[in-house]
């Protein structure tokens, strides 16, 4: 199986037009702006009442095809990663259908009929699984074709819940080719972990019983989650995938991390990505040589933490499910590592480790669930090209996570001449033109109400109408879409 060179050749993004400034939100809700901007970010986007995961995915996919001059007849796989599906039968084929309508309207050929259209679901990790599947497809039976992977999600939380400031919506499409023009994927040295975690972040269908429908029947997709327990599951999954990755990459794990040109992580909000990276580095030190253990010892001493116990906590697999049996979901399973991570985040060494590329843009993007990781990659790579950084041949590490829980470490490498493809991303353009909403508009949009307007955004798909049974013809609840050319 030939996998050398398979990688990403392009990104394209879509963010809805309605923007919530978190400083305004803090004024409406009485939350502390200083804390919110430090932990979460500056703003996020809300979908319009006539938008969903499919319309956003189709917009991003069409932009990718047009911007990268992709021959639609070469697309052999169109994969969708999402946890915001509104149809339990069809999935990525809906996106393909919309894209083909627009391509025909533009006088172009449609995506080929012989195209696989899988949908991948595992919370925020669905897009990473779709990306790996696309690479495997090209390696096995699609070497003369290309693949498009779209990550699209709607992150919504109940009003007054702890997750409310970490909302967002958007989509990111990636072009995957046998010879990646941006990044080459290292499929032989990935790290994986998965374990069922019960009451971690979930979306049971029973939530929709008795729900009030919006004008386009877009039910509010508020998750069931237990904040502290979900954080524990995240840290446990990242550490487990990290152990798998470091066992394969060879050399000193900490040096491997320090040598990366960038480390992009799943980023529902700013502090979570910082904590995840801090735990990754602590694990790398705990698995390292004497010099690495000395560095870990200095961190342990600075926090009055016993070094042997800290090493054991990082290296060993804790019994997360015991928290359920004990009924203590708020228990701290990583007390020593958490203390060391807090100190580490304040050190200059961590500032050098934490990727600055794209981070300011992400503070204005919000939580995109499965699109969060590729959005950060797109924003960071575009910034690197704008700043004319010399990154050819340099390695990149991506860390994906999905509640429930599962995690993936996937290393990649910048290819020579990556800048040309990077300049076609236009992440800045995707962020432009957002309209700030006031408190009343926020409440209405959060409830799914129609504001009586449609933001004019050429090149965007939207829901035009919803079907209902008419005599012998039944299209109840089926969404009909339109393209704003």
**pLDDT tens-place string over residues 90-104:** 999 999 999 999 999
Q: What angle (nearest 5°) sits at the alpha carbon of residue 198, between those of residues 367 and 207? A: 65
- Tell which residue, 435, 443, 457, 446, has the closest CA to residue 43: 435
pLDDT above 80 (res 209):
no
Summarize pLDDT for 244-302 with one digit per residue, the tens: 999 988 778 999 999 999 999 999 999 999 999 999 999 999 999 999 999 999 999 99
- In this prediction, residue 394 has a pLDDT band, given cuts at 50, 70 and 90, of very high
- Phi and psi based region of residue 20 (left: phi greater than 0; alpha: psi -120 to 50; beta: remaining): beta
pLDDT value of residue 455 = 75
**Radius of gyration (C-alpha) of the chain in whole angstroms:** 22
Distances (CA, A) of 298 to 170, 277, 290, 341, 353: 42, 18, 12, 12, 18
Please state, as a whole number, how many other Cβ atoms lie within 10 Å of the Cβ of residue 70.
19
Contact 290, 385 (CB under 8 A): no
Please compute the mean of the pLDDT values over residues 463-471 and round it to a whole number: 84
pLDDT value of residue 436 = 97
Tell me the three state secondary structure of residue 176. strand
What's the residue count for the chain?
Answer: 485
- Tell which residue, 265, 269, 212, has the closest CA to residue 238: 265
- Residue reference for tokens 């735990």: 279
- In this prediction, residue 477 has a pLDDT band, given cuts at 50, 70 and 90, of confident
Please compute the mean of the pLDDT values over residues 156-173 and round it to a whole number: 96
pLDDT above 70 (res 429):
yes
pLDDT above 70 (res 196):
yes
Please compute the mean of the pLDDT values over residues 168-186 and round it to a whole number: 97
What is the reported pTM? 0.96
Residue, of 58 and 322, whose pLDDT is higher:
58
Residue, of 251 and 413, whose pLDDT is higher:
413
pLDDT above 90 (res 445):
yes
Distances (CA, A) of 224 to 127, 163, 203, 453: 21, 11, 6, 31
pLDDT value of residue 1 = 56
Distances (CA, A) of 452 to 2, 18, 48, 435, 448: 53, 14, 11, 15, 12
Structure letter (DSSP) for residue 116: B
pLDDT value of residue 321 = 85
Helical (H) or strand (E) element with 127? helix 126-140
Residue, of 143 and 23, whose pLDDT is higher:
23
Residue, of 473 and 399, whose pLDDT is higher:
399
Strand order in the sheet with 18-21: 43-46, 18-21, 435-436
**What torsion, rounded to 10 degrees, do the Cα atoms 370, 375, 378, 384 define?**
-130
- Tell which residue, 281, 362, 293, has the closest CA to residue 43: 362
pLDDT value of residue 2 = 63
């Amino acid at each position: 199986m030939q996998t050398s060179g398979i990688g990403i050749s392009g990104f394209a993004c879509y963010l809805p037009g309605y923007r919530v400034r978190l400083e305004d939100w803090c004024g409406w809700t009485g939350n502390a702006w200083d804390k919110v901007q430090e932990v979460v970010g500056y703003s996020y986007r809300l979908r319009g009442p006539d938008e969903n995961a499919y319309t956003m995915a189709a917009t991003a996919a069409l932009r990718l095809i047009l911007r990268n001059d992709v021959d639609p007849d070469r697309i052999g796989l169109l994969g969708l990663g999402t946890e915001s599906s509104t149809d339990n039968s069809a999935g990525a084929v809906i996106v393909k259908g919309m894209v083909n309508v627009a391509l025909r309207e533009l006088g172009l050929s449609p995506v080929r009929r012989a195209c696989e259209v899988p949908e991948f679901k595992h919370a925020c990790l669905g897009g990473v699984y779709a990306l790996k599947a696309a690479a495997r497809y090209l390696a096995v039976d699609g070497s003369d074709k290309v693949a498009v992977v779209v990550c699209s999600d709607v992150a919504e939380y109940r009003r007054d819940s702890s997750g409310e400031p970490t909302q967002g919506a958007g989509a990111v499409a990636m072009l995957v080719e046998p010879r990646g023009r941006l990044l080459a994927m290292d499929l032989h040295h990935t790290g994986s972990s998965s374990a069922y975690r019960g009451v971690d972040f979930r979306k049971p269908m029973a939530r929709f019983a008795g729900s009030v429908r919006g004008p386009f029947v877009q039910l509010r997709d508020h998750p069931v989650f237990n904040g502290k327990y979900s954080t524990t599951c995240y840290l446990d999954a990242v550490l487990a995938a990290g152990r798998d990755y470091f066992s394969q990459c060879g050399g000193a794990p900490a040096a491997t991390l320090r040598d990366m040109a960038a480390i992009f992580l799943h980023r529902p909000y700013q502090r979570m990505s910082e904590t995840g990276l801090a735990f990754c580095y602590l694990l790398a030190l705990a698995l390292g040589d004497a010099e690495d253990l000395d560095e870990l010892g200095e961190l342990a001493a600075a926090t009055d933490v016993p070094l042997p116990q800290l090493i054991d906590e990082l290296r060993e697999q804790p019994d997360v499910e015991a928290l359920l049996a004990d009924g203590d979901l708020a228990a701290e399973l990583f007390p020593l590592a958490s203390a060391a991570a807090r100190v580490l985040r304040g050190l200059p060494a961590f500032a050098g480790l934490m990727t600055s590329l794209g981070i300011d843009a992400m503070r204005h993007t919000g939580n995109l669930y499965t699109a969060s990781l590729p959005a950060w990659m797109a924003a960071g790579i575009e910034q690197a090209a704008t700043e004319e950084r010399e990154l050819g041949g340099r390695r990149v590490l991506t860390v994906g996570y999905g509640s429930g829980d599962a995690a993936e470490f996937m290393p990649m490498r910048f290819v020579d001449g990556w800048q040309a493809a990077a300049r076609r991303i236009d992440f800045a353009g995707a962020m432009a033109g957002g309209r700030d909403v006031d408190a009343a508009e926020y409440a209405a949009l959060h409830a799914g109400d129609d504001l009586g307007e449609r933001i004019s955004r050429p090149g965007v798909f939207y829901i035009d109408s919803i079907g209902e049974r008419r005599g012998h013809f039944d299209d109840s609840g089926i969404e009909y879409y339109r393209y704003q050319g």
